[in-house]
């Protein structure tokens, strides 16, 4: 929801910036002193608007990081030689995330555990904690090999709970 609003605001800003840029170029081509003062005023207004937009973006990001939700452990069911991969992700709605996962590939997924009442910041801490198991490929930073301490954490930690209705495809 916040990201959609942010994207709309970003597009509106781009359109207004392009319009301002065109008028600024016309003024810059003029050699009259009053035109330069107008140009300076417009440049300053644009700078202030960009600062406000950056502040708003940072505020939205801070809200997203502290919003409560779930950390989920999503097992990739693709056939592999060696350890399976698991995604450590964050969502406000685990069923919604699993529905989205149905579009990610042909083999399906299984949520093998969830942690309730956590934030995006907590997810980042788990990424750091298990970074030695990170799967370095095109899948991104949230994918890890299900092995060692990570596997033990998912299977035995009292904070990780089993999730029912977890299969996709």
Q: Domain check: are 144 and 101 in the same one? A: yes
Name the most confidently modeled range: 29-43, 62-76, 145-159. Answer: 145-159
What strands lie across the sheet with 109-118, from one edge to the other? Answer: 109-118, 69-76, 85-91, 143-145
Total domains present in the chain: 2
Q: Domain check: are 93 and 138 in the same one? A: yes
Q: Domain check: are 85 and 143 in the same one? A: yes
Q: Domain check: are 28 and 43 in the same one? A: yes
Q: Domain check: are 133 and 84 in the same one? A: yes
Mean pLDDT of 143-165: 89
Q: Domain check: are 74 and 29 in the same one? A: no
Residue 163 lies in a domain: no
Structural domain harbouring 56:
2-66
Query: What is the CB neighbour count within 10 angstroms for residue 87?
Result: 20
118-129 b/e (C-beta count within 10 Å ≥ 16 → b): bbbebbeebeee
Output the pTM of the full model: 0.60
Q: Residue 169: pLDDT above 50? A: no
The dihedral built from the CA positions of residue 63, 64, 70 and 71, taken in this order, carries a sign that is negative
Instruction: Supply the pLDDT for residue 58.
Output: 79
Q: What 3-state class would DSSP assign to 167?
A: strand
Residue 44 lies in a domain: yes
Q: Domain check: are 61 and 106 in the same one? A: no
The upper half-sphere exposure of residue 133, i.e. CA atoms within 13 Å in the direction of its Cβ, equals 24
Residue 26: pLDDT band by 50, 70, 90 thresholds? low
Q: Domain check: are 56 and 128 in the same one? A: no
Mean pLDDT of 95-123: 85
- Residue 60 CB contacts under 8 Å (≥ 6 apart), including other chains: 2, 3, 5, 6
Q: Residue 37: pLDDT above 90? A: no
């Amino acid at each position: 929801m916040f990201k959609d609003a942010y994207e709309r605001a970003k597009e509106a800003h781009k359109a207004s910036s392009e319009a301002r840029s065109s008028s600024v170029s016309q003024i810059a081509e003029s050699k009259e002193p009053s035109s330069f003062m107008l140009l300076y005023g417009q440049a300053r207004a644009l700078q202030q608007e960009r600062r406000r937009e950056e502040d708003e973006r940072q505020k939205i990001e801070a809200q997203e990081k502290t919003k409560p939700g779930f950390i989920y452990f999503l097992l990739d069911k693709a056939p592999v030689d060696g350890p399976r991969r698991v995604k450590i992700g964050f969502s406000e709605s685990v069923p919604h995330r699993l529905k989205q996962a149905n579009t990610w590939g042909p083999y399906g997924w299984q949520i093998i555990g969830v942690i309730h009442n956590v934030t995006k910041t907590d997810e980042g801490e788990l990424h750091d904690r298990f970074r030695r198991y990170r799967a370095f490929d095109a899948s991104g930073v949230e994918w890890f090999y299900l092995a060692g301490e990570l596997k033990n954490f998912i299977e035995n930690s009292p904070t990780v709970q089993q999730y029912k209705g977890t299969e996709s495809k």
